[in-house]
Structures are given as C-alpha cells and as structure tokens.
Chains A and B, each alone.
Chain A
Amino acid sequence: MREISASKIREAVTELCLKANFDLRQDVLGALKSALKKETNARAKNILKEVVENAKLAKKKRLAICQDTGLVSIFLEIGNDVAIKGDLEEALHKGVEDAYKKGYLRKSVVNDSLMRKNTDTNTPCIIHVDIVKGDKIKVSVSPKGFGSENKSAIKMLRPTASENEIVDFVIDVVKRAGADACPPLILGVGMGGTFDHAALLSKKALLRSIETRNTKKHFRDLEKSLLKAVNSLKIGPMGLGGNTTALAVNIEEFPTHIAGLPVAVSVSCHATRSAEKVL
C-alpha cells in the first residue's frame, strides 16, 4: 500500500488551479491558432487574434485568462493500492481556497442557491472520485465559467433514436448557446449510462485533449459529423459570424439501459480550462 498525504493533494490542487487559470491548454491554444489561419471572416479573425493575444498575456503576467475563474470541479482517479493519510475532502477544498487567494482569482461561489451569499473562498468545489487500479492518484481540476455552463443541457432520447436526432439535439443546444457561451466552443458530449452519469461523462469529455478522438470508430465518426454540423451554423467567434463555431466535439460514452439513450452536452467556451497531475 502506497501512502500519499492529504497535504500533497492540497498542494497539487492549488498548483493545478493556478495553472489552469493562467496558462491556456496547449491543445486549445493550438486549435485557436489554426482556426485563425483558416478563418475567412474579418471580424472573426480579429476576435481570434485577441483571444490568442489574451492567452499570451495571461500566461506572462499571471492574470486570469477570463475573469470568470469558475466553480472548480475536481476529478480524482484513486488507485486501489493507495492509502490517503489525512482529510482528503478538506485538502481538496483548502487547495482551491489557497489558489484563489494566492492567484488573485475571482471568488464566484455563493453559499446557497437561494440565499446567495458569497463564500469568499471560491469553495466548496465539486468532487468526483473514480476508483482505478494501481498505486497512484490522478488529480484533474476544471475551473469552468458559467457563461457556458448555463447553456449545457441533457436529453433522454429513445433507444432507437437515429443519428440525426442526436445531431439535432446538439445543434439545438449550440444555437441556444448562441453568442452567450463565448464561441468558438468546445463541446463535451456524454452518451449512455443514466441521467446523472451522462452529465458526468460530458464533463469528463472536456478534460480530454481536443487533439485526441474517441477510441471507438462509430463515436469518432459521430464526433466528426457533429463538429461539421455545428460549424455549418456560422455562428462564429462571439456569435458575430464566421466558420469557427466550435473547435472540437469530444464524446465520452458508457453502456446504458435497453429503454434509453441519455445524451448530455457540456458547453464550454474558447477559454476551456483544466489541468491534471499524477501523484
């Protein structure tokens, strides 16, 4: 049994929150630069230029890429052969709090969805745990802004739904997101499982590099046709027209019930942020 202290995990969470907020993911930055080369609409090109310039400045000056530094979700993959010494839950929340204080990041969390008093710590964070084989812990953090989060949606399709129905649902979500979700978007799509699990998968899909496609061919093909359909909408960067409405569609999937086909779409902006580390 390998022992990992909660304080190590707390430090890792802090480091990852800071990295995610200051240093735009290389895969996302790469896709933005290549979109800038391909984009033909003048206004869209200008916006993409600003976005790339913003990422450079944020990294250099350690300024938040976006002022909406998000509600932090933490995804843990804990190996069976790991023993955690100390209070894991506290370590995760404190790790977030440390980062948001140290990094001059915005505290965007309120204590209660109706009373709405700011907690001033950007906590609590959302915690997801998977138990895996091995003696390591993988920590992934995703500080996600709510401009895009507000546009996410789920639909329980019939098990016999056609591919067109899936595409239509995703298109509908993207249209309703419009300019508000800060396109070009990255779409995380969760398919299968249950209502809640599809939503979780759609979030996990956003953690995956947008340069990596689904391992199954039929899902790879669907990722491709969804991206094509979304970009044919011509919503463009910030909704002002252009060829670049989404940079990528990532699907994660799971077995499901004979009676259903849950499809969840996590809408994410051009500043899709996450960072991960293996302990």
Chain B
Amino acid sequence: MINITTPLTEDVRKTLKVGDEVLLTGTILTARDAAHKRLCDTLKRGKSLPLNLKDAVIYYCGPTPARPGRPIGSCGPTTSSRMDSFTPALISLGLGGMIGKGDRSDEVTRAIKKHKCVYFLATGGIGALLSTKVRSSKVILYNDLGPEAVHKLEVKDFPLLVGIDSKGRDLYDKAGWKKE
C-alpha cells in the first residue's frame, strides 16, 4: 500500500506503477459529464478555466446529498469513458490525476503517457463505504448543476488502484479479457 498526497506532482506520479494499491489524502475535485462539457466549452471559446488543474486530481463522481452531521453522502466513481473526449484537453493543462471506473480510450492513454498523468480506479458501487474517507465537501463551481456541480473534497486514505500509469500501462490489459 502506497500513501500519496495532493497536489499530485510529476515526481510522485512517476513513482506509481500500474496495479499499485494507493491511499490518497488531500484535495480532489469532482467533475462529471456536464462539468466536463462546460470546462471544455470554455477552452473552445479561448477563455481560461475557472479552476487551476495543475497537479490537481479530478474525481468522476456525483455524490448523493449529505445527511445532517455527515460531510457527504454516497460518493463512488462513475464511468470514466464518458469523459474521454474531454480529457486530453484537461491533461494538457497539467492535470495530475483522474479517478473513475472502467477503461479509457487510446487517445486518453496517449495523453496520460505524454504528460505523465495517472488514471486511478476506485471500486464502483461502494459509495457508502467511500463516503467514510471524505472529511469535507464544498461546491466550488457550477452550483446550478446540482449533483454534477464541481465539489471540492478533502479526503483521507481514499483507496485506489493505479489503472493507467504515467508510462501508459493499463491494468485492464493485464486482466486479460479486454474488448477487441
């Protein structure tokens, strides 16, 4: 088990190998379909992003609302591949890592390799359990998107696997079944 903290600098990213079990502590930002579309539309218009993504970690997650007294509701990963068309643009801005479930396009893998980024896997469908690893949650952008707003999460020992490492090695390839 490897303990890492944010910001996820290139030095740290380069030490991580595909299949490594990691506990992540620090700040991560949730963003899923609608937020990705808005971020990339902003870039297309030639404007700069309202977020600094340098060495940041994006978590593909839309949590359930928090019960009173809890920082967050259930908060597991959503399917990463839906973000594939938006991802290379964000990686090229210095994004340090992404957390999600499922495999990525070749284009994303190439961008990961080129910019020495990391793609982490979180176990899907265990959102209640993962909520116990979150210390605080605050919406910082696109509040009107509700569950799809960008939340800033402070996490402690958030359990992850390295799905694609900075050399572009892919854990699903290693599992052997991967779709042709």
Binding site for B on A (CB under 8 A): 47, 50-51, 53-54, 57-58, 61-69, 104-108, 116, 118, 120, 147, 150, 175-176, 178-180, 182, 233-236, 238-241, 269-271
Told that A67-B74, A106-B63, A240-B175 touch, could you supply 6 new A-B pairs with CB distance under 8 A? A54-B126, A57-B128, A64-B128, A65-B127, A67-B127, A147-B79
Write out the residue numbers on chain B whose beta carbons fall within 8 Å of the beta carbon of A66.
74, 76, 124-127
For chain B residues 9-58, which have a beta carbon within 8 Å of chain A? 34
For chain B residues 86-143, which have a beta carbon within 8 Å of chain A? 101-103, 121, 123-129, 131-132
Q: Is the CB of A270 within 8 A of B125?
A: yes
Q: Is the CB of A179 within 8 A of B103?
A: yes
Known interface pairs A50-B123, A104-B65, A180-B101. Does A67 touch B73 (Cβ–Cβ under 8 Å)? yes
Write out the residue numbers on chain A whose beta carbons fall within 8 Å of the beta carbon of B128.
54, 57-58, 61, 63-65
Select which of B34, B63, B129 is within 8 A of A54 by beta carbon: B129
Q: Is the CB of B64 within 8 A of A106?
A: yes
Q: Could you jot down 8 A-B contacts, CB within 8 Å?
A: A47-B123, A54-B125, A54-B126, A68-B76, A106-B74, A179-B103, A182-B125, A239-B103
- Closest B-chain residue to A59, C-beta based? B128
B160 at the interface (CB under 8 A from A): no
Write out the residue numbers on chain A whose beta carbons fall within 8 Å of the beta carbon of B124.
66, 147, 182, 238, 269
- Closest B-chain residue to A117, C-beta based? B144
- Closest B-chain residue to A63, C-beta based? B128
Q: Is the CB of B177 within 8 A of A235?
A: yes
Q: Is the CB of B102 within 8 A of A239?
A: yes
- Closest B-chain residue to A41, C-beta based? B175
Q: Is the CB of B132 within 8 A of A106?
A: no
Write out the residue numbers on chain B whose beta carbons fall within 8 Å of the beta carbon of A69.
64, 74
Select which of B76, B103, B148 is within 8 A of A178 by beta carbon: B103
Contact with A along B138-180 (1 / 0, CB 8 A): 0000000111100000000000010000000001101111110
Cα distance A236–B161 in the bound complex, in angstroms: 16
Write out the residue numbers on chain B whose beta carbons fall within 8 Å of the beta carbon of A51.
123, 125-126
Interface centre among A51, A234, A239, A271 (most CB of B within 10 A): A239
Select which of B79, B121, B132 is within 8 A of A57 by beta carbon: B132
B2 at the interface (CB under 8 A from A): no
B81 at the interface (CB under 8 A from A): yes
Q: Is the CB of B125 within 8 A of A105?
A: no
Please give the distance in Å from A123's CB to the nearest CB on chain B.
14
- Closest A-chain residue to B124, C-beta based? A182
Q: Is the CB of A63 within 8 A of B74?
A: yes
Q: Is the CB of A233 within 8 A of B177?
A: yes
